Chains A and B, each alone.
Chain A
Amino acid sequence: MELSDEALVLACRRGDATAWEALVERYYRLVYTIPRRAGLDREQAADVCQRTFATLFEKIEQIEQPARIGAWLATAAKREAWRISRREHSAGVNSSPTADDQLAEEAVADVLLPEEELVRLEEQHIVRMAMGQLDERCRQLLILLFYRSDIPAYIEIATALGVSEGSIGPTRARCLQKLRRLLDLMGF
Chain B
Amino acid sequence: MPLRSIPFSRLVDLVEGRLAPEVEAQLQAQIADDARADADVRWLGRVIAAMRQAATLEEEPPKEVVARAVALFRPQSASRPLNPLQRLPAMLSFDSLLAPQPIGLRSGQPLERQLLFTAGEFSIDLRLTPSGTNWSVAGQVLGPSAGGGQVALVSPSTSAEVALNELSEFTLPPVPAGNYTLTLRLVDIEVEVDRLQVG
Contacts and interface: CB of A to CB of B under 8 A. Distances in A.
A and B physically associate: yes
Interface of A: 12-13, 15-17, 20-21, 24-25, 28-29, 32-33, 36-37, 42, 45-46, 49-50, 53-54, 57-58, 60-61, 120, 123-124, 126-128, 142, 145-149, 151, 169-170, 172-173, 176-177, 179-180, 183, 188
Interface stretch (B29-37, B39-47, B144-152, B157-165): B39-47
6 contacts: A25-B66, A28-B65, A29-B60, A32-B59, A50-B68, A124-B57
Q: Chain A: interface secondary structure?
A: helix
A33 B59 contact: yes
Contacts of A177: 8
Contacts of A45: 61
B73 A20 contact: yes
Contacts of A32: 59-61, 65
Contacts of B51: 124, 127, 142, 146-147
Interface string B74-97: 111000001011010000000000
Interface stretch (B9-17, B112-120, B123-131, B169-177): B9-17
A172 B18 CA distance: 14
A21 B73 contact: yes
A49 B69 contact: yes
B62 interface: yes
B111 interface: no
B174 to A, nearest CB: 26
Given A24-B70, A28-B65, A147 B54 contact: yes
Of A45, A58, A176, most B-chain CB atoms within 10 Å: A176
B48 interface: yes
A15 B74 CA distance: 8
Given A45-B61, A61-B82, A173-B12, A124 B66 contact: no
Contacts of B61: 28-29, 32, 42, 45-46, 49
B133 interface: no
A176 B54 CA distance: 17
A12 B55 CA distance: 31
B62 to A, nearest CB: 7
B84 A124 contact: no
Nearest to A171: B9
A57 B53 CA distance: 30
A36 B65 CA distance: 14
Contact of B50 (A12, A120, A172): A120
A76 B33 CA distance: 43
B44 A176 contact: yes
A173 B8 contact: yes
A45 B65 CA distance: 9
A149 B68 CA distance: 32
B57 A24 contact: no
B69 A120 contact: no
A13 B9 CA distance: 45
A146 B44 CA distance: 11
